[in-house]
């Protein structure tokens, strides 16, 4: 099992940071993400909405399973290639004196059919780097 945790303080109010990070189009600020958007069959953004994305070496479909703007949201990867057994990812937004502290945590495993331990070792290095890139993209967009 892999548990990832990335934190960053962004000099912008929580509602702006939440809205930017909840929009899947902005995931493209990560170097490995080629495209990301709301799924064509998705309900409106919020609880139950579905996001899809394609990254170098990865396709994913995730569902928003908890949505409490501007405090937190949780997503669950419900389909992916390679296979991913995702326990969930949560972004928490906390106001602080410098803006908004974002905590991003995600827990998952790769089953044997999805590359097993070798894929876990690789993704445990690549995903935090991409999470940080998304947070850096948010900071760049909002800290103007």
List the 72-81 sheet strands across, edge first: 2-10, 99-109, 85-96, 72-81, 58-68, 50-55, 33-38
CA pair distance 6, 4, nearest whole angstrom = 7
% of the chain surpassing 70 pLDDT: 99
pTM beyond 0.85, yes or no: yes
CA distance 143 to 139: 5
DSSP β-ladder status, 85-96 and 58-68: unpaired
The ranges assigned to domains in the chain are 2-142
SS3 45: coil
Whether 46 contacts 53, CB under 8 Å: no
Q: How confident is the model at residue 85 (pLDDT cuts 50, 70, 90)?
A: very high
What totals of helices (H) and strands (E) does the chain contain, helices first?
Answer: 2, 7
Which CATH code is given to the segment(s) 2-142?
3.30.530.20
Predicted pLDDT of residue 100: 98
> What is the tens place of the pLDDT at every residue in 17-65?
999 999 999 999 998 899 999 999 999 999 999 999 999 888 999 999 9
pLDDT confidence of 123, banded at 50, 70, 90? Answer: confident
Q: Give residue 6's pLDDT band: very low, low, confident or very high (50, 70, 90).
A: very high
């Amino acid at each position: 099992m892999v548990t990832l945790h990335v934190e960053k303080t962004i000099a912008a109010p929580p509602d702006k940071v939440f809205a930017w990070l909840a929009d899947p189009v902005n995931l493209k600020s990560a170097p490995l993400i080629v495209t990301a958007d709301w799924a064509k069959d998705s309900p409106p953004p919020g609880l139950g909405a579905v996001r899809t994305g394609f990254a170098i070496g990865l396709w994913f479909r995730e569902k928003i399973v908890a949505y409490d703007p501007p405090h937190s949201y949780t997503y669950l990867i419900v389909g992916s290639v390679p296979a991913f057994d995702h326990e969930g990812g949560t972004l928490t937004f906390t106001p602080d004196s410098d803006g908004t502290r974002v905590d991003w945590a995600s827990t998952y495993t790769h089953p044997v059919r999805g590359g097993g331990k070798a894929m876990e070792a690789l993704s445990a290095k690549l995903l935090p780097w991409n999470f940080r890139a998304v947070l850096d993209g948010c900071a760049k967009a909002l800290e103007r």
